[in-house]
């Protein structure tokens, strides 16, 4: 098990097994990324890597699993773009896991900006990419019921991909779908054109 955290440029040779990118709310979403990591580890054991765009404190348990740095990106956005495409397009055993929980009541977003605004843009971008080549993109989406805008996202995926894309409602379902994508013997059939 290993992780790539923001701005670290990992050596591709250090990324073993299935590779996931965890996209979704960072501020106000709780630590759903850690829960996602644990659920994948329960299923796949130690042979996987995840890029997680969280700036964890030094004492967080995932920090000790980070891959060594072979350089740094000067800003987080280029880092995110690189690893999103690595997981969703270029790595055969890769998958973007985009999950949107309902905003945390214990730790809501506190900077005055709307919850999950950047995530909504990521959903739109990857949905659009899938419209042009759904067989090439490895991408799963889970949006927790109760998230404002969930029904609109589901309808837009249905319309854009002719009903051939499922938006999951729980983190468990979303993780299971991602594992099917990266595990060759469980891979689902491609979306028909």
Provide the residue range defining the domain that includes 159: 2-186
Distance separating alpha carbons of residues 29 and 140, to the nearest angstrom: 18
pTM, whole model, 2 decimals? 0.92
Residue 23 lies in a domain: yes
CB neighbours of residue 188 within 10 Å: 8
Q: What is the pLDDT of residue 135?
A: 76
Classify residue 61: in a domain, yes or no.
Answer: yes
Exposed, middle or buried: residue 161 (CB in 10 Å: 0-12, 13-18, 19+)?
A: middle
Mean pLDDT, the chain cut into blocks of 10 residues (193 residues total): 91 90 96 97 94 95 92 92 95 96 93 94 94 88 96 96 95 97 64 41
Q: Residue 145: its pLDDT value, please?
A: 97
Tell me which H or E stretch contains 168.
Answer: strand 167-168
- Please indicate, yes or no, if residue 193 is contained in any of the structural domains: no
HEC sequence for 44-60: HCCCCEEECCCCCCCCC
Domain count, the chain: 1
Instruction: CATH number of the domain at 45, please.
Output: 3.40.50.450
Q: Which of 23, 19, 15, 46 lies closest to 141, judged by CA?
A: 23
Strand 19-23 and strand 49-51: pairing?
parallel
Residues 6+ apart with CB under 8 A from 13: none
Residue 192 lies in a domain: no
Asked whether residue 147 is domain-assigned, the answer is: yes
């Amino acid at each position: 098990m290993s992780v790539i955290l923001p701005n670290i440029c990992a050596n591709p040779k250090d990324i073993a097994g299935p590779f996931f990118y965890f996209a979704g709310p960072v501020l106000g979403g709780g630590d759903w990324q850690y829960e996602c990591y644990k659920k994948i580890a329960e299923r796949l054991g130690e042979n996987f890597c995840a890029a997680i765009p969280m700036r964890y404190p030094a004492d967080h348990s995932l920090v000790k699993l980070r891959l060594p740095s072979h350089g740094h990106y000067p800003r987080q956005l280029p880092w995110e773009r690189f690893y999103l495409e690595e997981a969703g397009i270029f790595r055969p055993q890769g998958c973007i896991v985009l999950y949107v929980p309902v905003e945390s009541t214990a730790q809501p977003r506190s900077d005055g900006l709307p919850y999950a605004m950047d995530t909504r843009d990521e959903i739109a971008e990857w949905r659009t990419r899938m419209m042009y080549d759904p067989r090439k993109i490895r991408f799963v989406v889970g949006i927790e019921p109760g998230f404002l805008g969930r029904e609109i996202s589901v309808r837009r995926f249905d319309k854009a991909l002719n009903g051939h894309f499922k938006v999951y409602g729980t983190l468990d379902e979303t993780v299971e779908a991602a594992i099917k994508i990266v595990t060759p013997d469980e891979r689902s059939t491609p979306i028909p054109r």
